[in-house]
Amino acid sequence: MHEALVAVAALVVAAGVVFAVVAITTGRIIPGPESGRAKILRPRLWGYGTLAVAIGIGMFIFLGPLQGPTGHYARYALIGMVVNFLGLYVQRLATKPGRPDGTATKTAS
């Protein structure tokens, strides 16, 4: 059973990496009505977030629950969860419009 869980986890992480690399290199995301594609305004940024999520989940899964009962790598598994949440934050930022010219706004002072 352990081997099956490892295989499924590796497949899911690999699919996330593939989708992220496609989004980063081409600026396109997977089509479909359920993907929320219309809400993603910056697909390359979404790709970077997806890559961070895939790396974080991979670190958590393979250094945490699927590593075994010893738990020597528990702190690295928790770092993986932090990377995962940072990736989710970056994906959230991809739904917001960026600045049109890339410069900061002036403050009234």
Q: What is the pLDDT of residues 28-70, one digit of tens each?
A: 888 766 656 668 888 999 999 999 999 999 998 888 877 766 6
CA distance 98 to 76: 33
Measure Cα distances from 93 to 38, 43, 82 in Å.
14, 10, 17
Ramachandran bin of 102, using left for φ above 0, alpha for ψ from -120 to 50, beta for the remaining angles = left
Residue at 79 is within a domain: yes
Domain hosting 86: range is 2-93
Q: Count up the domains in the chain and report the number.
A: 1
Could you report the per-residue pLDDT of 62-97, keeping only the tens digit for each? 888 777 666 677 888 889 999 999 999 999 999 888
Write down the pTM of the prediction: 0.80
What per-residue confidence (pLDDT) applies to 28?
Answer: 87
State the greatest distance between any 2 C-alpha atoms of the chain, in Å, as a whole number: 64
Does residue 101 sit within a domain? no
Q: Does any domain span residue 99?
A: no
Residue 106 within a domain: no
In a domain, 43, yes or no: yes
Residue 25 lies in a domain: yes
Asked if the structure places residue 103 within a domain, the reply is no
Backbone φ/ψ region at 63: left (φ over 0), alpha (ψ -120 to 50), beta: alpha
pLDDT in tens, 3-21: 898 899 999 999 999 999 9
